[in-house]
Amino acid sequence: MKCNKCGAELIKSDFCPECKADVSFYKKAARASNVYYNKGLEQAGVRDLSGAIESLKMSVLLDKTNVPARNLLGLCFYETGEVVEALSCWIISKNFNSVNNPAVEYVDIVRKKKTDFDDKCAATRKYNRVLENALNENYDIALIQLKKVVSQCPGLLKAQLLLALFYIEKRAYSRAEKCLRAVLKVDAGNVTANRYLKEIGKTSEPADKKPAALPSFLMKDDETKEEKNERSPLNGNDVIIPETGYKKSNTGVFSLMNILIGIGIGAALIFLLVVPARDSLRASGNDTSLEENNKILSEANDRAESAEKKVEELTAKVDELQGQLDNEGNSYYEVLNLAAADYISDNRVSCAEKIALLDAGKIPENAKGIYDTLVSETMRSSAGTIYSKAEEMYDEGNFKESAKEFEIAYACYGNDNEDAAYYTARSYERSDDTENALKWYKVIVEKYSDGEYIGEARDYIAENES
């Protein structure tokens, strides 16, 4: 042990042999520091990292030159995701002693893994933004951001604990338990995680189960791809509308002509029935009683009204058929043609967005081959990208647009993604579209009765459905 004033080697005496300073208090502090260091070493050995951190902090507080304690404290911080604190400990340790000090090697390793270090620092900054949003009561935005933090840096234990707290609040106990188990796997003595687990165990509500087939938005695009259809990919002119693509349009024109002819016949019936009846009334004169004249006139008027009504119905039918001809025929071909063009130019996300919300049951028969191929080649692989785009819109407060994108993402996931369904409903709710919000909350209740958002969905339906 060296004197804290002149650096001379100390002896058993309470005074420094060189500067004669009283070092009795310093010796007691150094011994206490070593006691706390040994305690921290034991705790770290059984992965009680939170306990070890507290012991080692006390150790370096009592003796700032305790290099082994600083090095071990840095390792504990690094293991719990606190990379900045870890690097600070090692740099201070290296400044006290750079000879045969492991801290020098630790700092070099961190510098060589600069990308990993930057990622962890970015995750910490995002976590701080999560705390800001949570303090401002923007809980849904905070939850989205927190999931990204945990995905980017699963070793950041404080983020895992906060995510578990969000899940407990939403009564998603099995997901909360998963986060807490991940924390305890790294830090077996974490008091907060153990307390949360105890609270989960006390609840009378059953723990929920996450749907096995639910693809999380934390996955990368490559992780959500399904096995592709055996159909050969589109190329060249294969995506151009088939030669028979407009046969239905020709059939519609003929039908339209027939209907117009029917309208003409109906109009002719008016003149054939009404005009002769009126002429007959004038010619009959005194030969027919007033009562009979009124009866004939009434019947003629009834026939005229009936004929006029038929004309109106036929006209409406013409308009309806024309609308179907325009909307269900040509528009579907047009959308598929545009989607196919995107596919050829390798813009698969745009292709998926165009075809995601088309009604498969209304696709013309001679275009189903193109539709099925585009679906299998683009939708599932683009789901993650579209979901991320929707998240960004949601974070920016653009809830009307995020609702549309989340809805498209849900369709791309094969109409089976609890997160996409929830944030579709939540976006509609925040854009004051109660009708669509109710629709999507009902989807959550029907399809994800054991899911994370079931309690919130039921509460919203109960409050808004009359």
Q: Pick from 395, 433, 428, 396: which is nearest to 410 by CA?
A: 428
Q: What is the C-alpha to C-alpha distance for residues 239 and 369, in angstroms, rounded to an integer?
A: 10
> Residue 47 to residues 58, 79, 183: CA-CA distances in angstroms?
18, 10, 11
Q: What is the C-alpha to C-alpha distance for residues 449 and 211, in angstroms, rounded to an integer?
A: 10
Higher pLDDT, 357 or 415: 415
77-127 residue pLDDT tens: 999 988 889 989 999 998 888 888 999 999 888 888 877 888 888 888 888
Q: What is the C-alpha to C-alpha distance for residues 343 and 349, in angstroms, rounded to an integer?
A: 9
Q: Which residues contact 245 (CB under 8 A, 6 or more apart)?
A: 333, 364, 366, 367
37-51, 286-300, 384-398: which is most confident: 37-51
**In this structure, CATH architecture of domain 117-208:** Alpha Horseshoe (1.25)
Using DSSP, state whether 9 is helix, strand or coil.
strand
pTM: 0.52
Q: What is the pLDDT of residue 222?
A: 43
User: DSSP for 324-367?
Assistant: HIIIIIIHHHHHHHHHHHHHHTT-HHHHHHHHTTS-GGGS-GGG
Residue whose pair of structure tokens reads 């790294």 in the numeric block: 186
Q: How confident is the model at residue 35 (pLDDT cuts 50, 70, 90)?
A: very high
274-323 residue pLDDT tens: 555 555 545 555 454 556 656 666 776 666 666 566 556 645 544 554 44
164 neighbors 133 (Cβ within 8 angstroms): no
Over 221-277, what HEC string results? HHHHCCCCCCCCCCCHHHHCCCCCCCHHHHHHHHHHHHHHHHHHHHHHHHHHHHHHH
428-442 residue pLDDT tens: 988 888 889 899 989
The answer to whether domain 378-464 has CATH 1.25.40.10 is yes
Q: Pick from 12, 2, 60, 15: which is nearest to 36 by CA?
A: 60
67-76, 124-133, 230-239, 280-289: which is most confident: 67-76
> pLDDT > 90: what percent of the chain?
14
Phi and psi at residue 9, to the nearest 5°: -70, 130
Q: Is the pLDDT of residue 209 over 70?
A: no
64-73, 286-295, 332-341, 366-375: which is most confident: 64-73
- Residue 212: other Cβ atoms inside 10 A: 5
Higher pLDDT, 406 or 202: 406
The answer to whether domain 24-112 has CATH 1.25.40.10 is yes
Using DSSP, state whether 15 is helix, strand or coil.
strand
